[in-house]
Amino acid sequence: MRVSIAILFLLLASPATAAPQVTIAQGTLAGTSDTGIDAYKNIPYARPPLGLWRWRSLQAGPRWSGVRDASAFGPICPQEAQGLVARANLPQSEDCLTLNVWAPQGGAKHPVMVWIHGGGFSQGGASVPLYDGAALARRGVVVVSFNYRLGRLGFFVLPELTQEHPGEDFANYGLLDQIRALEWVKQNIASFGGDAANVTVFGESAGGVSVDILMTSPRARGLFARAISESGPALGGVVSLGDAQRDGLAFAAKLGASGPGALKKLRAAGVAQILAAGDEEIDPILDGTLLREDVAVAFAKGHAAAIPYLTGTNSDEGAMLNGDSAEWLTKPLGDQLASVRALYETGGKLSDTDFGRLLFNDHLFAASARLLAGFAARAGAPSYVYRFGFLSARAHMRAETGVPHGGEMSFVFGFGPLAPFAPPQDVAVEDRMQAYWTNFARSGDPNGPGLPLWPKFSGPAPSTLVIDDKTEAVPDFRKAQLDVALRQWSLKTGMPLP
């Protein structure tokens, strides 16, 4: 009897925490709670792209009766797993169009931050552990992440597809998914305490490019109020509809699907077959509706949404070259190569490898950020540019000389389980980055108490916030080097620089 009474006392003294619930138009969700944050995962925001719905613009997500378990992530979209995805060993399925929400407990009208993952439009997923939204949510914002179709399942066109459903969007299915997710947020986020009128989209790499594309697309207008593009190489990187159709026909032929009925055969093909045949580079397609023109040209023409815009890059994006030749960057310089190289060798002679890495960094990334921010500022949008160069304690242990592609993300999302072991200087930079990002989401201005001043990117010598051992605004940061790439872009497109 004494044991039974003791067990009863423990049960009464430590009741199990009830799962938080929220009801949206589709039905009721049961999530999880942790330290002031409620999380809801694996919420379907669009019809599954299965069978005849493969390569279709999708309708809203399904409804359900009863209470849907939203305590665990759903599978990510099909891909050849690499990097973070491979290390996390995440499950995959073509039924992958789900999103996740982290929300502060209590209150309403919280700013909303919608994350778009990167991965070259062929990799990645919302459930990568690095993208946990809890740390940002504890700063008073609602965080949303989602999966979108990738590779040939997400970016693909055949002549047959353009004719199948007249008036329906085609080709950029992954981008259509992004818009559908943002529509879901607009319709449902108030149920989680979020402010549908104060949504910030933020993304890195292909996610950053996606942010820039969405800013230029009439289809996405009004779905978000602010934008953050991290390391998004937006100079080029789109393919014409004609080229995409030719690539699509060649891809179909690999799978033995040619002539009449090719699309039917492709829809019947297994995902593994499609992944095995889809080894070409994936780029968004100029479909004429969702994506009408090159992104940088659209910014130059004033066709981008005039909303607060924050963009920037890391100090060693060129580490992605992994020692590969950068001749494709040096060759177009022609007889200017010696003078350009001199701009980079003011501190001493560089090896061809190091020179190539710096060119890669500036021409594909830093120049893109400077150009788009300049055009956004010219259109009257408050714009901010950063350069992230802070080397963490771990980076110093590895003898890294700069921050590689994606190296800022752990400072934006937080260190997760490693937080208790992070040294004070890393924690201070993490705190600063999260404050800037959430301040921007709250008001369109990253500045706030205790933070080094981040000036708008405007005026004759616009400033870049250099985030390093010391964080400070630097006027005309690397202007001479970046102007080389920008002049090339201007000559190629015929567009004047901002």
Which pLDDT does position 398 carry in this prediction? 86
Of 11-20, 70-79, 182-191, 461-470, which range is least confident?
11-20
Give the Cα separation of 287 and 245 in Å (integer): 10
Q: Which helix (H) or strand (E) holds 230?
A: strand 226-230
E strand or H helix that includes residue 376? helix 367-378
Average pLDDT, the chain: 93
| pLDDT at residue 360 tops 90 | yes
Digit-coded pLDDT (tens) for 68-106: 999 999 999 999 988 888 888 899 999 999 999 999 999
Q: What was the pLDDT predicted at 85?
A: 86
Mean pLDDT: which of 152-166, 251-265, 433-447 is highest?
Answer: 433-447
Span 125-150, average pLDDT = 98
85, 150 in Cβ contact below 8 A? no
| Nearest alpha-carbon partner for 401 in 477, 347, 341 | 347
Convert the pLDDT of each residue in 179-188 to its tens digit. Answer: 999 999 999 9
Put simply, whether the predicted model's pTM sits higher than 0.85 gets the answer yes
Q: What is the DSSP letter of 194?
A: E
What is the model's pLDDT at position 325? 86
3 falls in which pLDDT band (50, 70, 90)? very low
Q: Tokens 């004759």, residue?
A: 460
Sequence-separated (6 or more) residues with CB below 8 Å from residue 466: 386, 387, 389, 472, 473, 474, 477
Percentage of the chain beyond pLDDT 90 is 87
Q: How confident is the model at residue 8 (pLDDT cuts 50, 70, 90)?
A: very low
What is the Cα–Cα distance from 435 to 299, expressed in whole angstroms? 28
| Cα 154 to Cα 120: distance, rounded to the nearest angstrom | 12
Q: Which of 290, 299, 320 is nearest to 498 (CA)?
A: 299
What are the boundaries of each domain within the chain?
19-307, 311-364+385-498
Confidence of residue 419 (pLDDT cuts 50, 70, 90): confident
Q: What percent of the chain has pLDDT over 70?
A: 96
Q: What is the pLDDT of residue 88?
A: 86
For the cut 70, the answer to whether the pLDDT of residue 460 exceeds it is yes
Confidence (pLDDT) at 2: 41
Q: Exposed, middle or buried, 494 (CB in 10 Å: 0-12/13-18/19+)?
A: exposed
By C-alpha distance, which of 214, 251, 211, 247 is closest to 231? 211
Number of Cβ within a 10 Å radius of residue 419: 13
CA–CA separation, 417 vs 422, rounded Å?
10
Write down the pLDDT at residue 5.
41
Band (397; pLDDT cuts 50, 70, 90): confident
Which whole number is the average pLDDT over 352-376? 96
Average pLDDT over residues 369-391: 98
Measured from the Cβ of residue 25, the count of other Cβ atoms closer than 10 Å reads: 11
Residues paired with 155 in a beta bridge: 172
- For residue 20, give the nearest of 123, 147, 139, 105 by alpha carbon: 105
Strands 463-467 and 383-388: parallel
Residue 12 pLDDT > 70: no
According to the model, what pLDDT value does residue 17 have? 62
336 within 8 A of 359, measured Cβ to Cβ:
no
Q: CA torsion, points 239, 245, 248, 254, in degrees to nearest 10?
A: -120
User: Which residues are paired to 145 by β-bridges?
Assistant: 100, 115
Fold of the CATH domain 19-307: Rossmann fold (3.40.50)
* Local structure of 473: helix, strand or coil: strand
Give Cβ neighbours of residue 477 (< 8 Å, ≥ 6 apart): 385, 387, 463, 464, 466
The residues that are catalytic are 205, 317, 405
Quote helix, strand, coil % in the chain, to nearest 5. 40, 20, 40
Average pLDDT rounded to a whole number, residues 187-210: 98
